Copies of this chain bind each other. A is one copy, B any other.
Amino acid sequence: MRGQSHRCHAPSTDSEAETTESETESMRCISCKAVYGARDAGTCKECYEEASETEEELKREIEDLKAKVAFLRFWSPLDHSHSHNNNRSSSGPCFTDVVLVASQDASPIPVPAHKAVLVSRSPVFKAMLENEMEESRSGTIKIGDVSYDALRAFVNYLYTAEACLDEQMACDLLVVAEKYQVKHLKAYCEKFIVSKLNWDNSVMSYAFAHQHNARHILDAALSLIIDNMDKLTKLEEYMELVEKEPRLVVEIYEAYLSKQVNTAAHKDSSMKP
């Protein structure tokens, strides 16, 4: 029975009679069915019932929200057209009225989309398309510094709020999301990158976060680095950072110093009588 092993019953001290009494008072948990003593007691029955109701309510709310997401999720035009034949992007049954191209490609494959969707998801596209700029007139939006795959994933996210990430794709999408101010996608990528943080990628992630204004990654990476300062200077990435971005290195040392001062102050105050 789960969790029963570590429970300690009240030690029997005096008479045989008291032990029996104490055993009478041991209870069976409504949830895990294990027997426990008074000192391992959690909630009363009423609170257990209320908590169960709350859990049911939360689960219902989740179901409702999932249904809403499914309803609001768009059919991406990329589901319809395959990469081979989406040159015919601005006609066809999807009613797309604009294409995006990865301008770094020599012969870029256009990714079809709807102006209405782009405008709805990104204030940058909104300004670009509603103000009759070049992109709006030509019906082609050039996206720099992005691969075709990342561009496809980006457009797909605008329709579905879903992306299949690996570490490279998360970085690529974060860059585009930052540029086009798609906050939801940026937060999604940050969460993924933070979940993959480790000592080996910490300095690179720190520099990346700095460059793309990714607060969550920055905080997590910095905290990881500061906790391992003794190993820092041996890292190859550290040498590179000193070379290329010495100010970022200074910030690491400043954060380290500030933590040391805080820790010392805390020790001082806790040692005072």
Chain A positions 89-142 with a Cβ under 8 Å from a chain B Cβ? 93-97, 114-117, 119-121, 129-130
Q: Are B40 and A71 in contact (CB under 8 A)?
A: no
Q: How many residues of A contact B (CB 8 A)?
A: 60
Which segment of A61-69, A218-226, A263-271 sits at the interface?
Answer: A61-69
Query: For the complex, would chain A's binding face be called helix, strand, loop or mixed by DSSP majority?
Result: helix
Partner of A25, one of B25, B61, B71, B114: B25
Partner of A31, one of B30, B51, B96: B51
B contact residues around A130 at 8 Å (CB): 93
B contact residues around A58 at 8 Å (CB): 55, 58-59, 62
Q: Are A94 and B65 in contact (CB under 8 A)?
A: no
Which of A27, A97, A115 neighbours the largest number of chain B CB atoms within 10 Å of its CB? A27
B contact residues around A93 at 8 Å (CB): 119, 130
- A36 in the interface, Cβ–Cβ < 8 Å? yes
Which segment of A42-50, A206-214, A229-237 sits at the interface?
Answer: A42-50
Q: Are A75 and B42 in contact (CB under 8 A)?
A: no
